[in-house]
Amino acid sequence: MDARPGDIIGYDYAWVVEDPNTPADTPNYWAGGGRFARNHMQAIRFAREEDAMRCAKSVFKGMFPRIVRHGWQRGLNRVQLEPDISLTECHQELGKAKRRIEELQKIIEGGRFDPQVEE
């Protein structure tokens, strides 16, 4: 999206659809379907205002949501929306950690724990 006067360097900007039934200073953002979310990172983003308006008009018939230009700090987008590992990998790592804890508990219960040897 093209920069505008007043834009902060290091931020990405897009148009979002806000729930008109929430205060403008703490809005809920349209997150797809008929769902609004408090977290702005879940907001559906539009590059052009007219696209946001056209979508809002077709999705929210009879409702008049706010169309607002919103900014996100670069870097946060990738960190919060694209985690380093998948949910499956996360569960695998959690499983490994639980197994290691069980192993250590057995060692401790068996009286074979030597802090000089164990990690």
What pLDDT, in 10s, does the model give residues 38-65? 998 889 999 999 999 999 888 888 788 8
Same domain for 27 and 66, yes or no, is yes
**Domain assignment of residue 60, given as a range:** 11-81
Tokens of residue 13, six digits? 């900007």
Average pLDDT across the chain, whole number: 78
Taking residue 72's Cβ as centre, other Cβ atoms within 10 Å add up to: 18
Output the pTM of the full model. 0.57
Same domain for 52 and 96, yes or no, is no
Low-confidence ranges of the chain (pLDDT < 50): 77-84, 118-119
Alpha-carbon distances, residue 5 vs 2, 45, 73 (angstroms): 10, 20, 17
Q: Given this model, what pLDDT does residue 95 score?
A: 76
Q: Given this model, what pLDDT does residue 6 score?
A: 66
Alpha-carbon distances, residue 3 vs 47, 51, 76, 87 (angstroms): 12, 18, 19, 36
Strands (E), 1-117: 11-18, 29-30, 36-37, 66-73
Same domain for 66 and 117, yes or no, is no
Q: Given this model, what pLDDT does residue 73 score?
A: 81
What is the domain count for the chain?
2
